[in-house]
Homo-oligomer: A and B are copies of this chain.
Amino acid sequence: MSFFEKLAIASRKNSSLLCVGLDPDPQMKLSNADNVVAFNSLIIKATVDLACAYKPNLAIYESMGIEGLSALQETLNLIRQADPCIPIIGDGKRGDIGTCSTAYAKTLLEDYDFDAVTVNPYMGSDALKPFLEHKEKGVFVLCRTSNPSGMQIQELMVVRGGVRRPLYQIVAELALSWNWNRNVGLVVGATYPEQISRVREICPDMLFLIPGVGVQGGSIEKTVRSAADTQGEGFIINVSRQIMYAAKTPIGTRSKDSEAMRKMRHVARQLRDEINSYLPSSLKKNLKQICQSHEDQANRGESYRQTESSVMATSGR
């Protein structure tokens, strides 16, 4: 199943445009790869029916060496066990040429079998081609990133066709030309909603991956209003730290794990619902219907209830 099919299923099933980041940072004091997997397990159990996708950042896992790669693989297994239809985005921001780019694409899209990846556009299309050629996979090109220093490059005024525009808008245009397999998306930061609107004008149908809500301070309302396509969607919003940090004592005793999951689930549900609350009414209605049928199903004691009860239960480590 392609990334876009999986995403459509998961977002409808869970009434969600919330992507959950899996990047346990040093502030969590997880100390080793086993603890990272255990912590990820809590997040996944707490959010698997609230998320439309998961996004581990490779940097965190690589920094733990060989054990970190195992932790990444175990995390992917946990997600796939929890829901084989929820897509996983490998956030590595890679970009290289020739055999090296081919090797990165193989690692991420074949070996780890990520459903989508993030890539850096600075080296142009031949650096991205090995990724783009995986038709079933999503390729999110960095466009206007959420960090303040992104402006040093991305807001530079470029003259093209007699018109001056910031570089990120040119990258958005280039992304259209790189979309021969219709598998390109863009990374735009919630911290710059006006820029998101400009990118949406250039790429009316392209999927946006949007970080920057939560700890980085981006507004969900502004983000949704600027990112929504003519159907009222076409974006997913990633949150990592705000959900993670809800679990102040992430792993320990059974009761602590249960409490951590409850808190993370509470934050994730609020985020999902807040995103949905700003969707245009047609989509909201649509999502509500799906949501209702999902609740009906849950009331019949099926998957939703299972997930709820797993949240209440301990992680079983």
Contact = CB atoms under 8 A, between A and B. Distances in A.
How often does this chain occur in the complex, in copies? 2
Interface residues of A, number: 58
Interface in A132-184: 142, 145-154, 156-160, 164, 167, 170-171, 174
Contact of A158 (B93, B96, B148, B158): B158
Interface in A100-135: 100-104, 106-107, 111, 120-127
A296 B179 CA distance: 60
A26 interface: yes
A107 B62 contact: yes
Contact of A150 (B70, B123, B160): B123
B150 A124 contact: yes
A121 B142 CA distance: 12
Nearest to A100: B59
A5 to B, nearest CB: 27
Interface of A: 23, 25-27, 57, 59-60, 62-63, 65-66, 69-70, 91, 93-104, 106-107, 111, 120-127, 142, 145-154, 156-160, 164, 167, 170-171, 174
